[in-house]
Amino acid sequence: MTVETGRPTGQRPDQPASESPGRRLLGRAALGRAGRAALLATGRALVPDAIEPIVQVHRRHHPQADLALLGRAYRLAEESHRGQKRKSGEPYITHPLAVTLILAQLGAETTTLVAALLHDTVEDTEVTLDQVAADFGPEVAYLVDGVTKLEKVDFGAAAEAETFRKMLVATGDDVRVMVIKLADRLHNMRTIRHMKPASQVRIAKVTRDVLIPLAERLGIQVVKTELEDIVFATLHPEEHARTRALIAAQEATGQEPFTAFAELLSRQLAESGVSAEVTARPRHCVSVHRELLRRGRGGRPGELHPVDLARLLVVVEEQADCYAVLGELHTCWTPLPGEFKDFVAAPKFNLYQSLHTAVSVDRAVFEVLVRTPRMHRVAEFGVVALGSPQPADPQSGDELDGTDPARPGWLRRLLEWQQETPDPDAFWSTLTADLSDDAEITAVTEEGETLVLPSGASCVDAAYLLGEEVGHRCIGARVNGRLVALSTTLADGDVLGVLTEAPAGPGGPEPSGPSPQWLDFARTPGARIAIERWLVGHPAPAEPLPAPAPPAPPVLAVPAPARTGHPGRGRLVIAPGHPHATVRLARCCTPVPPDQVTGFQIRGGSIAVHRSDCPTGERMRGDGRGPVQVDWAPQAAGGPAAGAGFRVTLQAEALNRPRLLADLTAAMSAAGLDIVSAVVEPPEQLRVRHTYTVELPSAAALPVVMRAMLRVSGVYDVRRPGLEAPRPPRLRPHARSAGNAGDPGGGPVRPSEGIRDRSAALGAVDGSTGSTP
């Protein structure tokens, strides 16, 4: 600050300055005491002139700031950068000064400003990180180190990707690292015209793909919007110039529509007793261009209307007043369907809170934003407006409690998957893909847990968000109470239940794991990386191909005629009254002891034996064929004689998953039977049906094999065709906490247990319920 002094009081016009009374009366010591007294009287420390604009802005946000610390940081930065020039020819010190001023305007605290003044000293000068830590403390040194680039000499082409990785890791511990980087990039973009054209395009693309999405996620809208406009002008100069011309032409016509409606709304709110400030909030260039594209056709911009240039901003005192304003708007004017969004009750992932609506007034549509002063500060400056980089105090009772600006959820997820991608190219491509879409949705699990996912995420993404082990064991999902395919895209507000197979016990088989097809609809990097890592470590074994169905269904004939009361060797059925008739077990229902059976005479004098509840037998009875009394031969109850056996058809209803066929066939083979044929029907969304014809060594083997099939993960029903209609599944979602109400053992619910009651299922297999043996 420059101080101009006039002629001392009492000095004659012709008296030399050296002979003035003040010079004679005040020695050097007296001047020093007077200077210290003046400083104490004003309460301000002497600061260099160059940082006076920064000090003025900073004191508005932080009146008790340590200005002496800022002065020391500036002196070190100026001395270390002395002699260096920027591409524009200006002294290099102008860059850290501009970055620090941007952060001061955002309201950053003193430590951040000190780090901003020094952010290039370690990278471009002889100053070391240890020197910064010794002079300004470890906190400032950490921030400076976080934004310091890695040398291309050490990392080559991977230097940029590894620099961003290092910066993101540092941001995970202190979000101010990324805030300083954004301010640094903003000033560099403001002066990008001094770079070579190729460098301009490269820097603009990195800013578009990485820095702008990060600014959006941190909620710093003022930085994000300016970066967007500069990138738009750099990469698409013609479209930018055309949009600017349209905006200028509309601005020349005046802002009468906004002024008139703002005054009308202000009067209406005042009459309703709501204290509010109504202003027009101009749209930036990229926002106007998006509106033009939305209204256009075939990718060509449409027309621009005066109401497209701005939105009305209503700032009220309290949160309850937001809804009072909304009520007045929707009562006095016509609201547009689908335009209302409540980000007050449900803040966005970047802490943004506002009510959004649109109303029609005299054929003009006005978009209106309603928020409190604090919501407005957070909407403009994001995490910087929250002040402390530490998590909010849960006991403070503030409306934004529960947020963690130092480690928001999206950043925590990003830090988790970046550890799994050591390759710089893979990390860079995954990072840009993850940041490419800033739209997010919120889903809720059936246990009440909130899941924040990117737009377009599937059920697989949600499963892996609950944990990698949950994702690996996922075999199905239920959305809003309906069973859906794992590829189903989730929508905002969906209620999700994740179905998992039982965890592997000691010495037991590990879960079947994800399918390679999951990569086609996995949206989040965390899910994709976990799936790829599983597939690399678990190569899929070749599944046995299903055997072709025989041209004619098997017919088991009794080798010798069944005689009344005197069954011979190998005879399974006796038919009193038909001692010489050939008896055949029907292929449609494959009866097995101790099924209740009924016989019907067929062509050639033979007797076909059906189960009593077989639909085919019921049709034959309806056609007028009289039933024939038949019964199992006594020795058949314990098992057939040598050379005889039973062929039976079984149907397994299951949730489709990899290696299901292999697991089912292995379970049947382990039960000691031979598989004659297997037919796998095409999956219908999540469900699949397997039909097997098997050769039983004895009738007693049937309940054993049905139990074994029902224990296979994903199988929720095993039945014999014709016995009963398929039952709709009753699913239980994945429970993350131990001691689930549906599982007395406290472990996760198995799919077969959650879909069909275990005791009822096994009882049906044993023959204690219904007619299933």
Report the catalytic residues.
123-124
Question: 347 in the Ramachandran plot: left (φ > 0), alpha (ψ -120 to 50) or beta?
Answer: beta
For residues 498 and 751, the answer to whether their CB atoms sit within 8 Å is: no
**From CA 623, how far away is CA 617, in angstroms rounded?**
10
**From CA 705, how far away is CA 668, in angstroms rounded?**
6
Element (H, E) at 279: strand 276-282
- Which one-letter DSSP state was computed for residue 263? H
The gap between the terminal CA atoms of the chain, to the nearest Å, is 98
What is the Cα 296 distance to its own chain's centre? 31
- Which one-letter DSSP state was computed for residue 208? I
Q: Which residues contact 438 (CB under 8 A, 6 or more apart)?
A: 213, 216, 217
For residues 758 and 752, the answer to whether their CB atoms sit within 8 Å is: yes
For residues 433 and 212, the answer to whether their CB atoms sit within 8 Å is: no
For residues 418 and 410, the answer to whether their CB atoms sit within 8 Å is: no
Q: In what order do the strands lie in the sheet with 482-484?
A: 450-454, 440-445, 495-500, 474-479, 482-484
Two tokens at 769?
Answer: 């319920």
**From CA 731, how far away is CA 686, in angstroms rounded?**
13
- HEC sequence for 645-695: CEEEEEEEEEECCCCHHHHHHHHHHHCCCEEEEEEECCCECCEEEEEEEEE
Q: Counting Cβ atoms within 10 Å, is residue 580 exposed (0-12), middle (13-18) or buried (19+)?
A: exposed
**CA nearest neighbour of 218 among 473, 438, 491, 452:** 438
Q: Counting Cβ atoms within 10 Å, is residue 736 exposed (0-12), middle (13-18) or buried (19+)?
A: middle
Give CA angle at 771 (767, 773), nearest 5°.
40
Question: 214 in the Ramachandran plot: left (φ > 0), alpha (ψ -120 to 50) or beta?
Answer: alpha
Element (H, E) at 715: strand 715-719
**CA nearest neighbour of 359 among 268, 491, 252, 253:** 268
Max Cα-Cα span within the chain: 154
**CA nearest neighbour of 359 among 267, 287, 264, 295:** 264
**CA nearest neighbour of 414 among 155, 214, 220, 679:** 214
What is the Cα 31 distance to its own chain's centre? 66
What is the Cα 460 distance to its own chain's centre? 11
* Secondary structure (3-state) at 311: strand
The DSSP string of 398-444 is -TTTT--TTS-HHHHHHHHHHTT--SHHHHHHHHHHHHS---EEEEE
The DSSP string of 312-343 is EEEEESSHHHHHHHHHHHHHHSEEPTT--EET
The DSSP string of 548-572 is PPPSS---EE-SS---TT---TT--
Two tokens at 566?
Answer: 């005197």
Distances in whole angstroms, Cα of residue 250 to Cα of each of 114, 243, 286, 291: 43, 11, 16, 14
